[in-house]
Structure 1
Amino acid sequence: MNTKEDDPSLHDDRESAAVEVREKDVNSRPEAFKTTFQEVLCVIVTCLGTATSSIPEGSFQVSLNDLASDFSVDGGQLVWSVSSIALASGSFVLIGGKLADCLGKRHMMVVCFAGFSIASLIAGFMKSYVGLVILRAIEGLFFAPLIPAGASLLGSIYPESRRRNIAFAVYSSGGAIGYIVGLFTGGISVLAFSWKAVQFFTAIFFGVVTIVAFFVIPKDPPLDKVQIRKVLKELDYLGSFLILASFALICFALTQVDATERKWQTPYIYSLLIVGVLLLIVFILVEIYLAKDPIIPMELWKKKDFGLAMLVASLTWVTFIGILGYYPMIYFQYVRRWSAFHTALAALPMGIMGALTNVFVGVTFHLISGKVLLIGGNVCLVGATVVWATLDYHRSYWLGPFWGYILCVIACDITYNVCTMVTVTAVERKNQGAAAGVFNTILQLVAVVGLSLGSVLVSAKDPYYGTPEQNEHPKELFHGLINVFYLGIGFSGLALASSFFVHVGTSGNAEAENTIENLASG
């Protein structure tokens, strides 16, 4: 005869109660925050850290025509106004992640917000195009650590829970929100003043964010000066230089080819491309065999799902940022001859849908597996590239570009959310900043490669691309852009196929905890 204590139903009730208490605890406000108001502001600040990359991107993309007229540049040279900031940040974000783990997330974020503001202010006074490109690269150096520092901060504060999912969704929405802000500040600034007003707005806005960040981000643990000196001494400076030099040479060769008379037969073009590829191989060998403290945590690559998730994210990002982010702007401003503000309005649905997608992922990630989300997102990406590639010269915005924008941003934000979660849970907490740095570095650099490859493909169809006669031949330019969108179909198709092999469960419930444990153990 069973006693009361042996009653199976009573045991089940106790177990259910224990699970309920545990879930309540992990979903409560973390002790690092004194009030909910501080928590909300802190999460918003991390979101704005992500937005530092998309605000300059959106604002400059809608002001390309004004920028080209002011400095008399076109074609591949114009790409550098966008790609320089991505190239610099992509090359520095690895060290930035390491520094955030070493020096403290709060210290790093406050300093970088302030530096970004100052660099933006100075860039507004530039009268040389080369000087502007250099200042924008400096902006990239400052915002590079903000992205991994924000991810690492949230990853260290929040345990696995639905509250964490929402916090990361807000963090990830910075790209979409920043893009909206960038589009409208760029459009309004060019309409009322010039591209310089974009830089001044950015400087003022992030100056205010710097002050808010100083007060709301939880204080870091006391710094160990001996450990700091050790980390700074052992930082992989050689690896950082090699990755920067490699991608700079590769991207310069790809973007400059359309500006040369002999194209690929120009000796310095293919020479620099070969040297860039060789430096990339040397970088990989240095990270594996020579670096004492590699800027890429090697433990990441032992997790097969991280590698697959990174492949999916890279293919999605090179399509979204490198192709569907930049070249549709060329289409609107140079083919359709729309104003900067009109172009900003055309791209607005992308920002709105991006914010809504992040909310959707945040509230459903504990119910829908990451694999299903990735597959669904990349189905949308394939649809977006097909819409743009089948565009005819006079198709209505509402029958073509509108749906292309809606679909591509769904894919981008779903992929970023899921793959960020995979990344920060694949390593120990002390290495989360470095891991997030690896993730965002690869995304930034593949985006630059996408921009550069696009320039090559446009010039293959349009002999006037990058010349003073470019604007006199919009139909040739249009066919060159379609060439780029076909490349997007190839990348997005590979992203979709790869999504089926990624094994990522839900996040924020008991099933997710088991999934994360399995992921962390390889």
Structure 2
Amino acid sequence: MTDTAVAVDALEKPGGSSRWLALAVIASAQLMVVLDATIVTIALPFAQRDLAISEGNTQWVLTAYTLIFGGLLLLGGRMADYLGRRRIFMIGLIGFAAASALAGLAQNGAQLFAGRGLQGAFAALLAPAALSLLSVTFTEARERATAFSVFAGISAGGAAIGLIAGGALTEYASWRWTLLVNTPIAILALVGALAFVIRDVPAPRTGGYDVPGAVTVTLGLVSIVYGFSRAAEHGWTSGSTLGLLAAGVALLAVFVVIEQRSTNPLLPLRIPGEINRGGALLAALLIPIAMFAMFLFLSFYFQNTLGYTPLKAGVAFLPFPAGIAISAGVTSALLPKLGPRPLMVAGAALGVLGLVWLAQLSYGDSYAVSVLPAQVLIALGMGPLFVGMQAVALHQVEEEDSGVASALLNAAQQVGGAVGTALLTTISVQVAKDYVLNNPTVDNLAAKAAIHSYDVAFYVGAGFFLAAIPVIALMIRDKPANLIEGSEEGARVPLAV
């Protein structure tokens, strides 16, 4: 029996409740990582004013984190496999604490962007290590379902919780505390990891870390997102926009070639090549594009149109994590009976309905009529989507690949969020400009132009939810019986939920 198996066995003996304390530690770290993608959203106007950040550069407070996070997740997952999940988890916590302090104490925009980028880099170590640790800590099917249901709920609802926490901290403390708050949380999680998280045995390493692959995929993603952001100012057909987008696509193509030829690839192509897993990963790329659009533009709508305070704007998002918690719990109970496909299709359909509802916003509408029902619909859809994506993406992955498989799922979500933020912001800006030019005599022109731009962005977001439906229906074919498969001596990482 391996050292990891011995450690897990000790945790599972009568009275061995340490594994649930380990779940609390791992879940708190995952929550910190996920909510940090949005916790500064409501604080952006205040940080922009204090640090004299230009309108064009403000989005990098968000995308510096999500891009570096998504771009380095594969490398982080492979490091977790080769150096040990617990060790990488703790290194990630230490680095995340330091990077959060740097960002929170920033004296100019460059320091803030650098701190956010470093947060993303250390989050790329934390996230895959956390998910892999759950795979080796919980081996009994029913307990594993509970553990991963908690994890999936946090992954799906963390972004909304970040908006609520960000609003409260901005209003009652300072925008800086939306970043500084991570430092004590990470330190407490580090103490908990030392006490309760199991020591795992790293997979044998036969080569290096595929640095060329890590560099090309990260630069490719940055180039694509920067190209989208440039389009807002220079147009889609400008040389700089087309050049950046073409360079990004070329770099991603080079990345695929490197992975095909590498003896120790960052991303073994067999992982996304399995049709069920490939479908889950493609859905994980599409869904956050729509979800981040909702967070970003509703945040603007609450504060700029309805005049909400930062805290009230955060509280206005509360139905979202509540709805996800309910739907994730129901999904974990239905998944072994129905399988992931019908639940995920239903979730995506609810997302389409919710965003189409939001796209009907007009000047003078109320929150209760125009926003709340749409939020509930989207939240009820996100639970089945996130639980199902995690379940299928980690199904029957070899133990030595569990870190990189976990990283790939997280990377797809983060890249989708970064691309969605840049793409839909660009579309929104252009739509607002066109509205102003075409309706110069309309009363309250600025407010109505903004709402019209949000509506268009919500329609585009609904399109991404809609695109996910055929992907799920055609590619995810797992039967309900497969959802309770176990593994012998940890030879395979069991299904996540």
- Does residue 422 of the first structure (1) align with residue 395 of the second (2)? no
Task: State whether structure 2 residue 233 is matched by structure 1 residue 254.
Answer: no
Selected match of 1:280 from 244, 252, 266:
252
Give the equivalent residue in structure 1 for 2:473.
500
Query: Match for residue 430 of structure 2?
Result: 460
Greater CA drift, 107-116 or 361-370? 361-370
Within 2, Cα distance between the matches of 1:241 and 1:105? Answer: 23
- C-alpha distance in 1, partners of 2:277/2:362? 39
Q: Which letter maps to 1:415?
A: L
Give how far 1:42 is off.
0.9
Q: What's the offset of the Cα at 1:442?
A: 1.6
1:330 aligns with 2:304: no
TM-score normalised over the length of structure 2: 0.88
- Per the TM alignment, residue 44 of structure 1 is displaced from its structure 2 partner at its CA by 1.8
CA distance in 2, matches of 1:349, 1:275: 41
Q: State the distance in 1 between where 2:297 and 2:54 align.
A: 13
User: 3-state DSSP class of the match of 2:17?
Assistant: helix
Aligned to 2:438: none
Partner of 1:244: 218
Q: Between 394-403 and 71-80, report the one with greater CA deviation.
A: 71-80
In structure 2, the partner of 1:441 is 411
Match of 1:489 among 445, 456, 462: 462
Structure 1 CA distance, aligned partners of 2:281 and 2:94? 31
Deviation at residue 454 of structure 1 after TM alignment: 0.7
Contact 1:53 1:175 in 2 (8 A): no
Identify the residue that residue 282 of structure 2 maps to in structure 1. 311
Greater Cα offset, 238-247 or 32-41: 32-41
Deviation of 1:94 (Å): 0.2
Q: Are 1:405 and 2:358 an aligned pair?
A: no
Could you tell me how far apart the structure 1 residues matched to 2:23 and 2:333 are? 16
Paired residue for 1:189? 169
Letter in 2 for 1:312: A
Contact 1:160/1:507, CA 8 A, preserved across alignment: no
C-alpha separation in 1, matches of 2:90 and 2:72? 17
Write the mapping of 1:69-84 to structure 2, written as runs, cut at 5 A.
69-73=49-53, 75-84=55-64
CA displacement at 1:76 relative to structure 2? 4.5
- Is the CA contact (8 Å cut-off) linking 2:157 and 2:320 kept in structure 1? no
| Paired residues of 1:176 and 1:352 also in contact (CA < 8 A) | no
1:63 corresponds to 2:43? yes
CA contact (8 A) 2:88 2:125 kept: yes
Residues 58-86 of structure 1 deviation map (CA, whole Å, 9 limit, x = unaligned): 32122122223223446552221112111
Distance 2:156 2:353 in 1: 20
Alignment match of 1:144 (pick from 118, 121, 124) = 124
Aligned Cα root-mean-square deviation (Å)? 2.6
Which residue pairs with 2:5 in the alignment? none
Give CA-to-partner distance per residue, 1:325-370, whole Å, 9 cap, x none: 2221122222323221111011111122222233223333223311
**Post-superposition CA distance 1:238-285 (Å, at most 9, x none):** 011001111111111211332x3x434543332222211211111112
One-letter code aligned to 1:365: L
- Paired residue secondary structure (2:218): helix
Q: Identify unmatched segments of 5+ residues in structure 2.
A: 1-7, 436-443
| Distance (whole Å) between structure 2 residues aligned to residue 315 and residue 80 of structure 1 | 21
Residues 439-476 of structure 1: CA deviation (Å, up to 9, x unaligned): 211221121111111122112212299xxxxx982221
More moved, 267-276 vs 471-480: 471-480
| Paired amino acid for 1:279 | L
Please name the residue that 1:21 is paired with.
none
For 2:318, what is the secondary structure of its paired residue?
Answer: helix
The structure-2 alpha-carbon separation of the partners of 1:414 and 1:372, relative to structure 1 and needing over 3 Å to count, comes to same
Which region of structure 1 is more displaced relative to structure 2, 401-410 or 479-488? 401-410
1:366 counterpart SS class: helix
Which ranges of structure 1 fall in alignment gaps of 5 or more residues? Answer: 1-28, 466-470
Distance 1:41 1:33 in 2: 12
Letter in 2 for 1:299: R
Q: Distance in 2 between matches of 1:164 and 1:31?
A: 16
**CA–CA distance in structure 2, aligned partners of residues 143 and 483 of structure 1:** 32
Contact 1:123 1:132 in 2 (8 A): yes
Counterpart Cα distance in 1 of 2:483 and 2:98:
43
Q: Distance in 2 between matches of 1:486 and 1:172?
A: 26
Q: Is contact 1:52-1:143 (8 Å) kept?
A: no
Distance in 1 of aligned mates of 2:162 and 2:275: 36
Q: How does 1:36-115 map to 2 (within 5 A)?
A: 36-73=16-53, 75-115=55-95
CA distance, structure 2, for counterparts of residue 360 and residue 76 of structure 1: 42
Q: For residues 177-221 of structure 1, what are the alpha-carbon distances to aligned partners after superposition, in whole Å with 9 as ceiling and x for unaligned?
A: 544552333112211232112222221122111111111101223
Cα distance between partner residues in 2 of 1:472 and 1:65:
21
Match of 1:349 in 2: 319
Is the 1:371–1:503 contact (alpha carbons within 8 Å) kept by the matching residues of 2?
yes
Give the direction of change, closer, same or farther, for the CA distance of 1:298–1:274 in structure 2 (3 Å limit): closer
Letter of the structure 2 residue corresponding to residue 253 of structure 1: G
In structure 2, the residue matched to 1:358 is 328
Q: Following the alignment from structure 1 to structure 2, what is the Cα–Cα distance between the partners of residues 363 and 190?
A: 38
Task: Please say if residues 156 and 386 of structure 2, whose CA atoms lie closer than 8 Å, have aligned partners that are also in contact.
Answer: no
Please tell me the residue identity of whatever aligns with 2:480.
Answer: T
CA gap of 1:59–1:204, structure 2 versus 1, over 3 A, is same
Work out the CA distance in 2 between the residues paired with 1:167 and 1:186: 27
Superimposed CA distance per residue, residues 350-392 of structure 1 (whole angstroms, 9 cap, x where no aligned partner)? 1222222332233332233111211121111111111111222
Cα deviations by residue, 1:470-506 (Å, 9 ceiling, x for unpaired): x982221221121211111211111123222221233
2:449 and 2:54 mapped to 1: Cα distance? 15
Cα distance in structure 1, aligned partners of 2:98 and 2:434: 38
Number of residues of Structure 1 aligned to a counterpart in Structure 2: 473
% identical equivalent positions:
23
Aligned-partner residue type, residue 271 of structure 2: L
CA distance in 2, matches of 1:184, 1:355: 16
Q: Is the 8 A contact 1:300 1:426 kept in 2?
A: no
1:76, 1:497 → 2: CA distance? 36
Q: Is 448-457 or 48-57 further displaced after alignment?
A: 48-57
**What does residue 14 of structure 1 align with?**
none
* Mapped partners of 1:31, 1:58: distance in 2: 38
